[in-house]
Amino acid sequence: MTKEMREHKIETPKEKQNRHKAMEAKTVLQKIKHEFKEPPKAMDYFYNLYESVHCRHEPLHNDKIKVGTMCIQVPAEIVYALDAVPIRLCNGFYTDDEIGSDFLPSKACPLVKATVGQFASDNFSDKPDIVISPTTCDQKAKSGAIIEEMGYKLFDMEFPRTKESEESREYWRRSVRKFTKELSTDLGKKITRKKLKEAIKKVGYAQHLYHKLNVLRKNIATPILGVDMFLVTNAFFFDKIDNWIEAVDALVQECEQRVEDEFSAAHKRSPRIVYTGSPPIFPNLKVPLLIELSDAIIVADETCSSNRMFNDMVSVDEWFVNDMIDSVADRYLKGCTCPIFTKNEDRKRRIIDLVKDYKADGVVYQAFAGCQVYEMEQRSVLDAMEKEGIPIIYLESDYSPSHMGQLTTRIEAFVESLKNRRRKR
Ligand code: SF4
Ligand code: SF4
């Protein structure tokens, strides 16, 4: 093709979508890289990873069967034990959210619309061979059916809506056993004791490294920004697990050195924030960015795109396949604090503990417009924080790049009020 032809080449819809997505990704990465104090050098691995996957659309897992997961409730240990890779399909692109609006009500959750939009336009770097859809929230459950109608192979995984009872535990265990059996048949792979044990150990080691990094954020001189932490944890959605482990190991070492040197990623007087609510997923890091650009720092979070993915390790009594599968199931149910449950006392307890342990000044609660459960649960979380004397702000947001003015004003006012509160103390 001559230069002239290339210049006049008409873009296909897919090329156009990919160009828009690359622009979204680049804009956010540039902000994170250049608008803050020196990021850790080890973050370069993650910046390059996002550029490769989301700006250049380079696949990472050509040689593997890819199991797309619609929610964190799909046990990664089982997928790895069957020689496949889990790819989390929760999506943060506004381009895909707009495409998804043709398939779902305009007031639906942007995360769900973006997930459906990506299937509709088939603009994956690593296209899933099979999709697992746990029946967690209603919108996820219904969107699974829409994706299946588009011709994708999909497996529903039944999930209980109560958490505390023995019945729900048994119900979920049965669901995980069934999932293991069906995935094993579908992939033509047998789950072995050795492989499952290895997978449990590997995912457990990734969790351990995350906690080692996370705990460093308790220091008053916090070594890493919240936006960088979201990049690290979001990368676990799609990265090769061995590479992720190696990169986080290097980041832990660098952050430990920063703590020793009393290097802080923010100003020493920047208010410390615990972030909770609908999950920030790259490149929709709009609210975390606004918080940190307003001179506050996110020191901990309670979201399913970050901290919640690494909660509760698998605890195995007997290393036999069936016992291990049940133990894996227990870890996922116990660790989940998504508001899809009828009662969700664990979530409130966890937020309060995070505020205390990480010496936070306040909580930011974000709900996506269209997510009823996060919207509905905000009142009880606000009440619980009020009882503890913890300042909290509730924000509603979506993936649209417009309407930033009001969000910015509210966040800046909240940060200012936290600074005043500190001065008075
Ligand atoms: S918000 Fe809840 S339902 Fe949605 S992906 Fe996260 S854990 Fe799953
Ligand atoms: S943010 Fe709400 S609607 Fe969206 S996936 Fe999570 S629980 Fe479902």
CA 305 to ligand 1: nearest atom: 6
Ligand nearest to the CA of 90: 1
- H/E stretch holding 365 reads strand 362-368
CA 338 to ligand 2: nearest atom: 7
* 124 touches 130 (CB < 8 A): no
In sign, the C-alpha dihedral spanning 72, 74, 80, 85 is negative
Q: Is residue 338 within 6 Å of ligand 1 at its C-beta?
A: yes
* 199 touches 78 (CB < 8 A): yes
Tell me the CA–centroid distance for residue 108 and ligand 2, in Å.
9
Which residues, 6 or more positions from 372, have their beta carbon under 8 angstroms from its beta carbon?
A: none
Q: Whose alpha carbon is nearest atom 5 of ligand 1?
A: 71
- H/E stretch holding 352 reads helix 345-357
Q: Is residue 70 within 6 Å of ligand 1 at its C-beta?
A: no
The pLDDT value recorded for residue 183 is 97
Q: What is the pTM of this model?
A: 0.95
Q: Whose alpha carbon is nearest atom 3 of ligand 2?
A: 371
The pLDDT value recorded for residue 2 is 55
The pLDDT value recorded for residue 196 is 98
Residue 103 three-state SS:
coil
* 280 touches 237 (CB < 8 A): no
CA 138 to ligand 2: nearest atom: 8
CA 278 to ligand 1: nearest atom: 1
Distance (Å, rounded) from C-alpha 65 to C-alpha 127?
A: 10
Q: Whose alpha carbon is nearest atom 2 of ligand 1?
A: 338
pLDDT tens-place values along the chain, 425 residues long = 556 556 667 888 889 999 999 999 999 999 999 999 899 999 999 999 999 999 999 999 999 999 999 999 999 999 999 999 999 999 999 999 999 999 999 899 999 999 999 999 999 999 999 999 999 999 999 999 999 999 999 999 999 999 889 999 999 999 999 999 999 999 999 999 999 999 999 999 999 999 999 999 999 999 999 999 999 999 999 999 999 999 999 999 999 999 999 999 999 899 999 999 999 999 999 999 999 999 999 999 999 999 999 988 999 989 999 999 999 999 999 989 999 999 899 999 999 999 999 999 999 999 999 999 999 999 999 999 999 999 999 999 999 988 788 999 999 999 999 999 988 87
Give 3-state DSSP helix, strand, coil % of the chain, rounded to 5: 55, 10, 35
Is beta strand 65-69 parallel, antiparallel or unpaired with respect to 130-134?
parallel
Q: Whose alpha carbon is nearest atom 4 of ligand 1?
A: 71
Residue 363 three-state SS:
strand
Residues in the chain: 425
Tell me the CA–centroid distance for residue 111 and ligand 2, in Å.
7
Pocket test for ligand 2, best of 140, 305, 309, 397 (most atoms within 8 A of CB): 140
Tell me the CA–centroid distance for residue 240 and ligand 1, in Å.
22
* 363 touches 397 (CB < 8 A): no
What's the number of CA atoms in the CB half-sphere (13 Å) around residue 402? Answer: 0
In sign, the C-alpha dihedral spanning 192, 193, 196, 198 is negative
Tell me the CA–centroid distance for residue 90 and ligand 2, in Å.
10
- H/E stretch holding 138 reads helix 138-149
Closest CA to 232 of 46, 366, 88, 84: 46
